[in-house]
Structure 1
Amino acid sequence: MSLPADFLLGTPPMSLQGDLSTLDLSGLLQNLESAQKQGLLTIRSESGEAKLFFEKGRLALFTSPGRAPLMDMLVASGTVAASDMELAKKRAKRGKKRVGEALVAKGVLSEGGLKEFATARLLDEACELIAIGGGAFEFTEGGIPRRAFDPEERALKLALASGPLLLESARREDQWKLIRDRVPSDAIHYVVQHPPRDPETPEAAELLANVVSMLDGTRSVAEVVAGFPHRLFEVYQLLADLADAHVLRMASPSDMNRLVQEIARKDSKRAWAILQRGLLTHPLSPNLLMTKAMIAQDIGELEEAAEALKVLVHQHLHCGETELALEGIERLKGLDPDDAFVWERSYELALQDKRKSDVLRDGKRLVELYRGPGLFKKAVVVLENLVEMDPGSWELVIDLAKNRADGGDRAAAVAELEKFGSVRLEKEEYALARRIYEEILNLDPDHAGAKATVSSIKSGELARRIEHRKKVRARVAAFFGVIATCLWLGYESSARRAYVGATHEIGRERWIEKRHYLEAIDAFETIRVDYRFSTTALYDVRRQLEQLRTKQELKEREQN
């Protein structure tokens, strides 16, 4: 897109609108300069609205939302001391003149120096705008709008020609790629590892000295650059050159941690700010996280302290450092006793290590925390583990039943209590059984079995019935014991008679004297098989068989 001829050549004043996607800003600036236009160029983009005023085609003024006044920038950059600026403002007010004039009149800085400062700032801002490139534009011919621009800058009558401006912008665009290769993030903190070479000019040496003095690890790149608001690009380029020459190195987590701890002794707020920036670059540094937890606790930022400790606990668990993780968890419990995350980790570790007392303690606390927001099902899972670990605890069983019921599973809750109550009754723990069945009635007031059981316990009828059943069981057991004894005696007597008969037969037939050992073995083997559970077979018959088999073996060896 090119500008209309009637706009470039014509009078009266005209306005022009368009989009920088069809006419780039560089071409627009060149056209305005060639036509010697005076007026306001407004550019609206995603980054906001910028206004530029042109005098005879040259850029004279710039403003955007939030842009600091020129006098404030002089103080922020250290060019003018705050005290000198205050005096200059008072003199300017009394003499009805500009603050810049008052500064020059008192010799705080020269008129050329003031204009150079403002020109450098304008150049930085214009180059940045050209680099952004996109957006809609509108140019309106005319004079300077009232109150649109800084009056101190208006008084300096700045004028940037488009040719040098565009050349500088192109140079910077190429340089930015190299700068970002060497200084990849504005959040980085640098420290000087060896002295840089001396620059060729005094002006460059002064800038280098000022920049190096700020590179002590306590400031990010963004903070260092912010100290030179009128020379942003120069400082970025200087930092890139120093990094490329290995004069600088990125501050390590240990460097940052040491600096933060040193500063925290005098200024905890500043230490906290530096620490936060250090964690942007090294978010998982154990030392920085531990220091964050300590400083945060000291300055009352308990949530921040807990956040840092949680990350540390996670790291320790990931690395298998259980003891360190437990130390962090105990600290977290002190910071926020109601944090379910902390008790969950503690409970899981106790389960893993089979520490029963800790499992019960942490599990009970976790159940309390789950019940508050109505997480009954999660509470039930924990209580099931606790009951399994301590099945005799009626408090845990009742708590489990209550949480089941509150979670909507009333039938399972009642069944759990009935099972536990019946065991208490069998053990004749009537007081505890009564409480359990009363709890069943709290959950299910119409439960007939629970009503009857509670009534029987109260009246003593249940105890009498149980005692009667015990007596009946004892009598039945005695009766069957007598029968079993009689049967056993008969069995044993039969075995003994068979043994005596076999012994007589062996003697009568003289099998031992005749060395007919196999016949004797057969006689005793029959008794062993027929009466294998009798004491006669287990002892007497076994002994006879061992002796006869030994004699048979000797006989067979003699024959061979």
Structure 2
Amino acid sequence: MGRAKAITHPSMSFRGDISSFSLGDVFQNLATNQKTGTLRVQSRDVECYVLFRDGKAVSCSDNKNPSISAWLVEKEIVTAEQMDEAQKRYRRAKKKSLGEILKDMEVLSLEDYKSYLSTLVQESMYEALSLQEGTFEFLEGLEEDLPNREPLAAGISFQAQSLLMEGARRSDDWQNIRRHMPSESEIYLVPPASRAKLLSETEDEVTKQAIALLDGTRTLKKVIAKLPYTRFDACKAIAHLIMEKKLRPLDGAALPQVASREGDPKEVLATLKAILEREPNNRELLERAARLSTQCGNRDEAATLWKRLAISFLEEGILPNAEKCLEKSIELNPKDLAAWEKLQDAIARGGDTRRLESFSLRFARHFQKLGLPEVVRDHLSEALKRFPRHVDLQLAFAEARFKLGEQKPSVESLLALGEERKCAGDLANAERVFAGVLCLDKTNSRARALFDEIRSGATAKRREARRKALRSACVAACALLVMGFLCYDFYVRRELFAITRAVYAESKLEPSKERELISRLRALEAKRPFSFTTVHELDPLRAALERKAAAAKR
């Protein structure tokens, strides 16, 4: 009866497993020993609290059955406006029960209210007794908190024996219900073609009204709430229809019908979410649900849906679509670390190192603004393995470490980086690094001196002077090299002239002198092989003389 909150009790009596010690035995034990306290039961998605006083069950609250106020509105016994007014008075008048307030408002008699409340509490206990797996824990001490306030004020109490008898009778029915209705958030519908025939063949009034409501627009939970019967009777009728396959669940094939439906976007969204429980990886459903959630202002829910859609794209390697979905998720929920990490993974898999480098810096700056230096440090420690020379990443990493108490190593690492950049001639980045050091440690004299030196231009001037000197030295060396080569070539030319000065015309060369001249030219060529004269003048002359000598011999 309404979702119960965890309660702190003064002492614990016992706990156990339902599969080895049934709840019926627990109820019997508590009744026999006339215990007072709260029995907490957990089984899968069910959490239930049963309050005992002197061995009698006096209250039951769980996360399946509605509270008495919600139940009265759902069954249209009290209007929503009347209940809102009653709740306002209820919060102000702490000594009056809700039933007394509704009586004062002349909305509902106190006798009828107690009857409805008794039935609701009793139904919750029967449902709890049907659980066959899970855990229980009994905590001694009476707790008059909000879920128990109304039953205690109404003086409701139930003997354990009567509860056990009816609970045992219903147990098989509840097992059948849970087998065919594992989730009440799903949507079922009666096929329109068979609706009229089914209504005419059905004699049970509960089933008839259930068929009328199962039109594919409501979750099972809403259908159960809408039926003017107990939760047990409503669930039993619906489970019977599902067992006989007279209902079918709404699936992805119904998306066009759902998308074209007019009305409250929240209702359409609830339908889409119900279908998603059956088809969690249907991308079309996920995208539609994400857009509707955004439209309805459910930012966190929309962000989760966009992230789920992105994960489905990532699994198939459709990276551009995954990145778009993750960007939307991050826009809706900027604090979602998992979405940021997924986006980083998608960019890394794309292989664009420049984008990854830029994203790493964006990631770091975002979580710096959120005041999460530990996240920044862990992220950048990995990013710097890929981009160890990136100055902005180094600065952000040092800042995060400094905030986490690593002051000395972070400052020293930045000083080393700044000096390295300075030696490499990257004065702009060196200046930024030293400025970063001073932001962290304003009294650092070493960083101040280096920063001022770069800012004043002295380093740049010295570096420019060295560059000019180097350029001048290079020009002078080149000039000397050219001059040396010219002198060397002139010397070779002079030797060649000395060898051939007796020759003024090829035709007047004495035959006996040809072999001597060729021999001397070959010696000069071997001695000075790398001069311009040797390559371009000596070779042709020697070749001509060899041809002439060969002709004369013939």
Partner of 1:410: 411
Query: Shift of the alpha carbon at 1:273?
Result: 4.2
Query: Shift of the alpha carbon at 1:302?
Result: 2.1
Query: Shift of the alpha carbon at 1:329?
Result: 4.0
Aligned counterparts of 2:198 and 2:183: Cα–Cα separation in 1? 26
TM-score (norm 1): 0.57
Q: Per-residue displacement from partner, 1:59-99 (whole Å, max 9, x unpaired)? A: xx986425889999798557x7979x99xx98xx8999965
Query: Shift of the alpha carbon at 1:252?
Result: 1.2
Q: Per-residue displacement from partner, 1:235-268 (whole Å, max 9, x unpaired)? A: 5454444334433222114536853x456x5323
Aligned counterparts of 2:38 and 2:382: Cα–Cα separation in 1? 59
2:253 matched to 1:246?
no
Query: Shift of the alpha carbon at 1:310?
Result: 2.4
2:328 matched to 1:331?
yes
Query: Shift of the alpha carbon at 1:445?
Result: 0.8
Matches within 5 A, 1:113-192: 126=126, 129=129, 147-149=154-156, 168-169=169-170, 173=172, 179-192=177-190
Partner of 1:224: 223
* 2:60 corresponds to which of 65, 80, 101: 65
2:324 matched to 1:312?
no
Aligned counterparts of 2:249 and 2:122: Cα–Cα separation in 1? 31
Q: Say if 1:49 and 1:64, in contact at 8 Å, map to a contact too.
A: yes
Matches within 5 A, 1:153-552: 168-169=169-170, 173=172, 179-193=177-191, 195=194, 198=198, 203-204=203-204, 206-228=205-227, 230=229, 232-233=231-232, 235-255=234-254, 258-259=257-258, 261=259, 265-332=262-329, 334-335=331-332, 352=350, 354=352, 356=354, 362-372=359-369, 373=371, 374-375=373-374, 377=377, 378-379=379-380, 396=392, 399=395, 403=399, 406=402, 408-424=409-425, 435=431, 439=435, 442=438, 444-446=444-446, 450=450, 453=453, 457=457, 463=461, 469=466, 473=470, 476-477=473-474, 479-493=476-490, 531-536=528-533
Structure 1 unpaired stretches of 5+ = 1-18, 33-39, 53-60, 101-113, 137-144, 154-158, 552-560
Aligned counterparts of 2:271 and 2:294: Cα–Cα separation in 1? 16
1:208 is paired with a residue whose SS is helix
| CA 1:467–1:421: 2 relative to 1, 3 Å | closer
Aligned counterparts of 2:35 and 2:400: Cα–Cα separation in 1? 71
Structure 2 unpaired stretches of 5+ = 1-15, 42-48, 84-101, 139-151, 549-554
Aligned counterparts of 1:221 and 1:301: Cα–Cα separation in 2? 23
2:445 is paired with a residue whose SS is coil
Q: Which moved more, 1:118-127 or 1:449-458?
A: 118-127
Q: Per-residue displacement from partner, 1:209-247 (whole Å, max 9, x unpaired)? A: 311222223333344344457465555454444334433
Query: Shift of the alpha carbon at 1:416?
Result: 2.1
Partner of 1:109: none
Q: Say if 1:404 and 1:412, in contact at 8 Å, map to a contact too.
A: no
Aligned counterparts of 2:176 and 2:153: Cα–Cα separation in 1? 41
Q: Which moved more, 1:483-492 or 1:224-233?
A: 224-233
Q: Per-residue displacement from partner, 1:149-174 (whole Å, max 9, x unpaired)? A: 39xx9xxxxx98999x69844xx52x
Equivalences, count: 465
Identical residues among aligned pairs (%): 17
Q: Say if 2:418 and 2:431, in contact at 8 Å, map to a contact too.
A: no
Aligned counterparts of 1:495 and 1:530: Cα–Cα separation in 2? 10
| CA 1:418–1:224: 2 relative to 1, 3 Å | same
Query: Shift of the alpha carbon at 1:41?
Result: 11
Aligned counterparts of 2:75 and 2:284: Cα–Cα separation in 1? 34
1:316 is paired with a residue whose SS is helix
One-letter amino acid matched to 1:65: C
2:207 is paired with a residue whose SS is helix
Q: Say if 2:418 and 2:430, in contact at 8 Å, map to a contact too.
A: no
| CA 1:329–1:298: 2 relative to 1, 3 Å | same
Q: Which has the larger radius of gyration?
A: 1
Q: Say if 1:422 and 1:433, in contact at 8 Å, map to a contact too.
A: no
Query: Shift of the alpha carbon at 1:455?
Result: 9.6
| CA 1:256–1:495: 2 relative to 1, 3 Å | same
| CA 1:237–1:400: 2 relative to 1, 3 Å | closer
Partner of 2:95: none
TM-score (norm 2): 0.58
Aligned counterparts of 2:221 and 2:125: Cα–Cα separation in 1? 16
Aligned counterparts of 2:73 and 2:124: Cα–Cα separation in 1? 18
Q: Say if 1:220 and 1:277, in contact at 8 Å, map to a contact too.
A: yes
Q: Say if 1:380 and 1:400, in contact at 8 Å, map to a contact too.
A: no
Query: Shift of the alpha carbon at 1:176?
Result: 5.3
Task: Provide the alpha-carbon RMSD of the alignment.
Answer: 6.5
Matches within 5 A, 1:97-116: none
